[in-house]
Amino acid sequence: MSQPRTIWIACLAALLSLLPASFANADESKAGELRISQPWSMELPPNAPTVAAYFVIHNGGQQPDRLLSVDTPIAATAQLHEHVHANGLMKMQQVQLVEIPAGGDATFAPMGYHVMLLDLKDKSKLTDGAHFPLTLHFEKSGDVTVEVAVLKQAPTPATHNH
């Protein structure tokens, strides 16, 4: 085999070896020391007026941060919510902010913290396989926009290998 062809094949093999790592982090965004992963939402049921978005915020830094608000072009209003157990019932309530502890996580998942999208503008972005932007506004780390994947069913929990 000629030397230029051998070099070309070696370069191609090196590039191909990087692909799995790139795809593994395709659903991850960064803001300062924060890493936002696995943003997703359920496919919009017929005639549903609202939908929720979920993700995990990992704080790799030494200082806590706060998620202050969120927004998206597909809804007039996006609010931070949580489910709480009160008087034997589960109820949903709006929260003003979500603390992200230093070296810890804030998990947005069904029956926990979540982003409620109200007064939906563009329901075509809420079908299985679609994506929509969601901008998170942090107190210290600034703003970051993530692409939320719309799924027909909830994803299986990921294993973390920190």
Q: Domain 28-151 has what CATH class?
A: mainly beta
Q: Which of 11-20, 41-50, 126-135, 150-159 has the lowest mean pLDDT?
A: 11-20
- Percent share of the chain, pLDDT over 90: 62
Please give the pLDDT value at position 23. Answer: 32
What's the first-to-final CA gap in the chain, in angstroms? 42
Tokens of 138: 């942090």
pTM: 0.78
Question: In the chain, what are the domain boundaries?
Answer: 28-151
- Interval 8-63: pLDDT, tens: 333 333 333 333 333 333 467 888 899 999 999 999 887 888 999 999 999 999 99
49-69 exposure pattern, b = at least 16 Cβ within 10 A, e = fewer: eebbbbbbbbbeeeeebebee
Closest CA to 150 of 126, 117, 133: 126
